[in-house]
Chain A
Amino acid sequence: MESDGIALKWRRIPNRYRLVGSHCENCGTDFFPPRKICPNCGRKTKMVEKTFSGYGRIYSYTVVRTPTEEHKENAPYVLAIVQLDEGPKLTAQIIKSNNKEIKIGSRVKLAFRKITEDGKEGLIHYGYKFQVIE
């Protein structure tokens, strides 16, 4: 049976699995997620692929208690804006860990988890979440 929206998510696999972003060689700025045109350089953009280390800090966080249907089974979960060591910020869930406080400034590291699933017979979409480390 033909399924919807496969290519839309498949294109993002390297970004979501390995934090592949982009870097503008013209001005030296890093971007995650990747983009084609550098906002600083416009037509002078020289974008190349860059893989981020997976380390960062929590910039802000909340606990989502009323998620959309596809995130329901995971609730309640911590959603944060993480600032990667290299500079860019991204939005991701923080997975539970023992005795490690979730607060602005907590140090985090990349983890690999299920993000959503297209129902019982559909694809599983994996991607990045982060865990708080010492």
Chain B
Amino acid sequence: MRRVAIVGVGMSKFGELWDKSFRDIIAEAGLMALEDANMESKDIQALYGATMASGKLIGQEHIAPLIADQMGFKNIPATRVENACASGGTALREAYFAVASGAFDIVAVGGVEKMTDVSTSSATTALGGAGDQEWELFQGATFPALYALMARRHMYEFGTTEEQLAMVAVKNHENAYKNKFAQFHNLITVDDVLNSKLVADPLKLLDCSPITDGAAVVILAPLEIAKKYNDAPVEIVASAQASDRIALHDRETLTSLKATQIAAREAYRQAKLEPKDIQVCEVHDCFTIAEIMAIEDLGFFKKGEGGKATEEGQTKIGGKVAINTSGGLKGCGHPVGATGIKQAVEITWQLRGEAEGRNTNAEIGMTHNVGGSGATVVVHIFKRV
């Protein structure tokens, strides 16, 4: 397979974008990416579109040709990829294969979610589709509840504390504060998190990522011609994915995502790297506990020590490995289909030194995108060229 690079990235602001529609935000992100890649619409040969729940949220299915058209692409193959909250990461992977295989040279991947055109209740129900309808959701489970079940077990098995969970949210708000695209620009304290309203014990409001509108686009090209489009291409040196049983109760353990461990292992193998080589990583912190489990499952810290590592500041910018410099899902926002692509945008900026106010000078970065409560995990590793 050929080597693949990212030659253009773009994203809309993430937040409650009342003035902007689904079409508006994806066009905005797409334009930024084309400019970044110094390309015209006609240069794009295929499009992968990632949206989790456009049917329930805006009554629109078949969004791939819609996205292609809105970005000015004519008659190219356009495919929607849906893997719940890992739609973006999965779409990136499919686009990577499209270029790596030699089938296409220039491929665009766009992730977008417009969540505020329905009520908060309806948006929450739409997100619930990522879980097991018959055996979890029917029984009264919600996503905060499923992650709360994991949190309780993690606290029981390893002594992780609610304060340590809160520190994840505090750090991610600190990072988001510096990111002009992020949803939140307010600093919070551990007490703010601990005092926020309980959503599903022990998780509170500030332990949970928000409902967000947003889009992100990445353009891929074969490495050998990447410099034609961008003098700082970023190579995708590993792409890995794993699945697991959709219902949380069917997993082997509640304190790890096996799919993360498998995908990570495969990614390190492809890139011939180890966890200690990763300098910056965007992980899927849909809830604070998810970041703690992710930094363990990705191999940065021993199982059970994710809370302590966070407490000791090892995941801050300047720490052992900078986690979620964009602000993560908690601070930057979580427009579901866009998140996996946004993670790649952030890592690209980090590796180019273009992440204003939050640069880590990293050469190697990673993204970790999860679907539902862990039934899909996609891991990518990126290297500055």
Contacts and interface: CB of A to CB of B under 8 A. Distances in A.
Asked whether any CB of A lies within 8 Å of a CB of B in the complex, the reply is yes
Interface of A: 9, 12, 33, 59-69, 71, 74, 77, 79-81, 89-93, 104, 115-116, 125, 127
A74 B201 CA distance: 16
A64 B153 contact: no
Interface string B147-173: 011111100100000000000000000
A66 B144 contact: yes
A68 B124 contact: yes
A24 to B, nearest CB: 15
Contact of B200 (A33, A63, A91, A92): A63
A69 B125 contact: yes
B210 to A, nearest CB: 13
Contact of B138 (A64, A77, A115): A115
Chain A interface mostly: strand
| Interface footprint category on B | 35 or more
B152 to A, nearest CB: 5
Contacts of B150: 60
Given A91-B248, A91-B249, A104-B153, A64 B139 contact: no
A12 B137 CA distance: 14
A116 B247 CA distance: 20
B141 A91 contact: yes
Nearest 5 Cβ contacts at the A-B interface: A62-B148, A89-B249, A63-B201, A60-B149, A60-B153
A75 B198 CA distance: 13
B134 interface: yes
Given A65-B198, A68-B124, A81-B249, A59 B142 contact: no
Contact of B249 (A63, A64, A90): A90
A67 B125 CA distance: 9
Interface in B124-138: 124-125, 128, 132, 134-138
25 contacts: A33-B135, A59-B249, A59-B254, A62-B148, A62-B200, A62-B202, A63-B201, A64-B141, A64-B142, A64-B144, A65-B198, A65-B201, A66-B144, A67-B142, A68-B125, A71-B140, A79-B140, A79-B141, A81-B149, A81-B254, A90-B135, A91-B132, A92-B139, A93-B139, A127-B138
Nearest to B254: A60
Given A12-B134, A59-B254, A81 B248 contact: yes
Contact of A59 (B153, B197, B200): B153
Interface string B197-241: 111111100000000000000000000000000000000000000
B58 interface: no
Contacts of A116: 138
B145 interface: yes
Residue in B125, B140, B144, B199 whose Cβ sees the most chain A Cβ within 10 Å: B140
A91 B136 contact: yes
A42 B196 CA distance: 47
Contacts, number: 93
B186 interface: no
Given A12-B134, A81-B249, A67 B199 contact: no
Contacts of B203: 62
Given A77-B140, A115-B139, A61 B134 contact: no
Contacts of B152: 60-62, 104
Nearest to A65: B198
A127 B139 contact: yes
B56 to A, nearest CB: 13
Residue in A12, A59, A77 whose Cβ sees the most chain B Cβ within 10 Å: A59
Nearest to B119: A69
Contacts of B151: 62
A10 to B, nearest CB: 12
Contacts of A61: 149, 152
Contacts of A91: 132, 135-136, 139, 141, 247-249
B121 A79 contact: no
Given A63-B201, A67-B140, 18 more contacts: A60-B149, A60-B254, A61-B149, A61-B152, A62-B200, A65-B198, A65-B201, A66-B144, A68-B142, A69-B121, A80-B149, A81-B248, A91-B136, A91-B141, A93-B139, A104-B152, A115-B140, A125-B138
A61 B145 CA distance: 9
Nearest to B124: A68
Contacts of A77: 140
B250 interface: yes
Contacts of B145: 62, 64, 79
A92 B141 CA distance: 8
A69 B128 CA distance: 12
